[in-house]
Amino acid sequence: MESSTITSKGQVTIPKEIRRALGIRQGSRVAFAHEGGKVELRVVHQAPQSVVSGFGMLDARGKRLPAEFDAASLLRPRARAAKGPR
């Protein structure tokens, strides 16, 4: 049996092994039931797995760039079309 200490705000940390076994992670919902001097913890809703990459999740509203676009080209100084006095 594992134990935890209650904080001044009444919060408790669920031990890592129990969180893993029940699939509890940030955003999960749990419910508590009290009966006969015991407390029961149930997972109501498991949060989805965290997203590793957000690539492709948003749609671009502006002009689309070709796949071969070189972002470094924006850093290169542009050649002047017409050289002359300023």
Residue 27 — very low, low, confident or very high, per pLDDT cuts 50/70/90?
Answer: confident
Would the pLDDT of 17 be above 70? Answer: yes
Q: How many domains does the chain have?
A: 1
Residues paired with residue 35 on neighbouring β-strands, in sequence order = 38
Answer yes or no: is 35 within a domain: yes
Answer yes or no: is 70 within a domain: no
Answer yes or no: is 31 within a domain: yes
Answer yes or no: is 10 within a domain: no
**Domain around 27:** 16-45
pLDDT mean across residues, the chain? 81
Answer yes or no: is 50 within a domain: no
Q: What pLDDT does 74 receive?
A: 78
Answer yes or no: is 4 within a domain: no
More confident site: 78 or 37: 37
Cβ-Cβ contacts under 8 Å for 29 (sequence gap 6 or more): 43, 44, 45
Answer yes or no: is 25 within a domain: yes
